[in-house]
Chain A
Amino acid sequence: MSGLVHRFGERVAVDHLDLEVKAGEIVGLVGRNGAGKTTTMRAVMGILRPLGGQISWHGRPLASADRLRCGYMPEERGLYPQMRVLDQVAYFGELHGLDRAAAKDSAHGWLDRLELAGREQDKVVALSHGNQQRVQLAVALVHGPELLVLDEPFAGLDPTAVDTLSEILRAEAARSTAVWFSSHQLDLVERLCHRIVILEEGRVLTSGTLEELRARLPQRLRVKVDGPTAWAVDVPGVRVLSEDAEGVLLELDAGADPQAALRAAQAAGPVEHFGFESGGLADVYRQLVSS
């Protein structure tokens, strides 16, 4: 999508947003509450009409028929509570263009895979919250979509279900499905995603692989010296972020020389540890958002 714009009254929810998801790629959308993640996903799925911008599918404007090749799992789950599990999943399969027999077969397959075998004839309302979430996922997957749009799919799942869903998303990407999901569970995003997009106030703050995101941040050095601790203060281009039993954490300005820091440390005493520190996505996210 390019230049996507949407407002709710005076509040700008999505502000000229550009984003691309390729076949076989898992893209994670992260950002604080109200950053525009859900609005962007709803605009792509046609649930709301954006005020501006263009959404494309294989290089041409996205048509409503193209959305039948997408699987969608909204943030607030939605199923017919009184409908039986198998009928419900098959119904959504049919709505996405499968014939009745194929929809039933596929529904059976996904319910087996999501460990809901034996619950096919239960009404959705009789299932636990976690199992309802699995049915919701089956609804998104039943028609073999080319693009999966999942809004907070891991929210409320137990660790086993998280593993099952992670495995499914990897498998879907392996069969060339474009997978796009939002999450506040940054460890999962880090573990699963090929690419991460950080939204802030309706705009793409930055995007790329975790390594690419890290490269956009100042380098950090962890140095432990058996001696006085004030040695780093005078090193040019270096700031002390913290100091504890593990040593001092330094942030290097662009162009600052790590060797100058090493030399200053050695001058202060025997160096017990000297290494670059590369935090996880959570650290990277915090730094990028706060900067």
Chain B
Amino acid sequence: MNRIPTTRLIVKREVAERLQSRFVWAMTALTTVFVVAIIVVPALVRAPAKPTVVGLVGPSAQALGPALRSTAAAARVDIRVLDIADSQAATSAVKDGSVGIALTVDARSAVAEVKQTLSATMRALLQATLDEAHQRQVLTSAGVSPSLVLQAQTPVPLATAARHPPPADQAARSIAAVAAGILLYLSLALYATAVANGVAQEKTSRTAEVLLAAVRPTQLLNGKVLGIGACGLGQLAIAVGAGLIANAAVQRAEIPSIIWVLLPAILLWFVLGFALYAFACAAAGAMVARQEEVQFVTLPISMPLVVGYVLMFPAIASPDAWWVRVLSFVPPFAPVFMPARLALGHMGAWEMPLAVVIMAASVYGTARLAARIYAGALVRGGARLSWRAALRLRGAE
């Protein structure tokens, strides 16, 4: 039998075993709920802003209506203005919430009646309108022509010239970066450990010995990594697909423009990151004498993943820091850092391809080394092997 059908058989068995596992389905459900929640919850919490209703109480306040509307339009504040006959009706309207602010104006002062607090934006808006009306009244009384008053009160336009403007959807990109990092960390940790456990199970149950009488160690190793990796990729694809559907359902406006690049990048970095960690974990799993030793032998492998995950949060806060740029090219950290940096948009066009090349080379080297350790350690009895001892072993044919 040639190598590909044999590897395919091993892949099929690995996939079938995982599809029968309640734990795998539970984790798929949890991951999917996590992604959907990240999209749906903020959309539900942040309901579309309603215009602030400003009630103008009495003729003096109602005279300010046109000025208030134009000032609000200039300041891009969404308001609705309505006239209220008297203060009693105004208090009642504020209490029942039909009016947000009831403005009463007399010759010397003005009162903004609100239920709890007056926002800084609305305070500034009302104050500017009152000041403008007051100035106009004083100047007109002093004989200044209304057209001159109008000219004097026309604001001087102030333009912004930002040299490094953040993307318009910065907040959404930050959420996407965190979500991508968490998703990749969880998936890599879960499925790379599954490889170590699967290898250790075959070794400690002696199934490996029966298998190696029919298949080569590399076929067994590749089949296991591919099978478990396919399950991980499937789980990730379900979670990402559910996220897209949820996004369409809540019609969230803040969908970052980068999302269509980020999604394939998440899958690509899962594949690369999984391959790196899975081959290393397979070698570690082959070194154990007992299943319970898996966690111990995989500790040096999972540590960089955990450290990368912890550093991801300060990295997202300062994506241009030198250490973030450096670590995003270091293979154990790249699967978490690169998609996060991509989501934030702080990345040169050359950086992703270079990181992918470095990562692919690392995967190749790790796979070669892991295959050597795996072939020797898998059928070696006795106590747990050290990395050095495992490297010296002669493997199965």
Within 8 A of B (CB), among A48-70: 48-49, 51, 64-65, 67-68, 70
B207 engages A48 (CB within 8 Å): no
Contact between chains at A68 and B207 (CB < 8 Å): no
Cβ of B69 < 8 Å from any Cβ of A? no
Q: Which B residues are CB-close (under 8 A) to A139?
A: 210
CB distance from A60 to the nearest CB of B (A): 16
- In the complex, what distance in Å separates the CA atom of A92 from the CA atom of B13? 11
Interface of A is mostly: loop
Interface status of B107 (Cβ within 8 A of chain A): no
How far, in angstroms, from A47 to B205 measured CA to CA in the complex? 16
A96 touches B214 (CB 8 A): yes
B 380-397 binary contact with A (CB < 8 Å = 1; else 0): 000000000000001111
Q: Decide: B379 and A48 in contact? CB cutoff 8 A.
A: yes
Whether a CB of chain B sits under 8 angstroms from the CB of A221 is: no
Residue of B nearest to A71 (CB): B213
B174 interface contact, C-beta 8 A = no
A82-B206 in contact given A70-B213, A72-B213, A97-B1 (Cβ < 8 Å)? no
> A219-255: which have CB < 8 Å to B?
none
B24 in contact (CB, < 8 A): no
Q: Which residues of B contact A68 (CB under 8 A)?
A: 1, 214
Question: A78 with B1: in contact, given A42-B379, A49-B394, A49-B396 (CB under 8 Å)?
Answer: no
A contact residues, total (Cβ < 8 Å): 31
Q: How large is the interface on B (under 10, 10 to 19, 20 to 34, 35 or more residues)?
A: 20 to 34
Given the complex of chains A and B, what is the CA–CA distance between A97 and B215 in angstroms?
11
Give the Cβ gap from B206 to chain A, nearest Cβ, in Å: 3
User: Does any Cβ of A come within 8 Å of B208's Cβ?
Assistant: yes
Residues of chain B with a CB closer than 8 A to A97's CB: 1
Task: Report B189-221 residues with CB < 8 Å from chain A CB.
Answer: 202, 205-216
* Nearest CB on A from B211, distance (A): 7
Distance of A74 Cα from B203 Cα, bound (Å)? 13
User: Given contacts A91-B9, A97-B1, is CB(A47)–CB(B213) below 8 Å?
Assistant: yes
Contacting pair B9 A46 (CB below 8 A): no
Q: Give bound CA distance, A80 to B211, whole Å.
A: 10
Q: Does B6 contact A (CB under 8 A)?
A: yes
A81 interfacial by beta-carbon distance below 8 Å: yes
B86 at the interface (CB under 8 A from A): no
A49 CA / B394 CA spacing, docked (Å): 7
Q: How far is the CB of A181 from chain B (nearest CB, A)?
A: 15
Q: Could you say which of A70, A74, A94 contacts B209, with CB atoms under 8 Å apart? A: A74
CA distance A74 to B209 in the complex (A): 7
**Is the pair A67, B213 in contact by a Cβ cutoff of 8 Å?**
yes
* Residue A45 lies at the interface, judged by CB distance under 8 Å to chain B: yes
A47 to B17, CA, bound (A): 25
Q: Which residues of B lie under 8 Å from residue A42 when comparing CB positions?
A: 209, 379
> Given A46-B213, A67-B214, 9 more contacts at CB 8 Å?
A42-B209, A46-B212, A47-B212, A49-B396, A51-B394, A74-B209, A78-B208, A94-B9, A136-B210
Taking Cβ atoms with an 8 Å cutoff, the residues of A that contact B are: 42, 45-49, 51, 64-65, 67-68, 70, 72-74, 76-83, 91-92, 94-97, 136, 139
Chain B residues proximal to chain A, CB less than 8 Å: 1, 6, 9, 13, 17, 20, 202, 205-216, 379, 394-397
Write 28 A-B pairs (CB below 8 A) sorted by A numbering: A42-B379, A46-B213, A46-B397, A47-B213, A48-B396, A49-B394, A49-B395, A49-B396, A49-B397, A51-B394, A68-B1, A70-B213, A72-B210, A73-B210, A74-B210, A74-B213, A76-B206, A77-B206, A78-B202, A78-B207, A78-B210, A79-B205, A79-B207, A81-B205, A83-B17, A92-B214, A95-B211, A96-B214
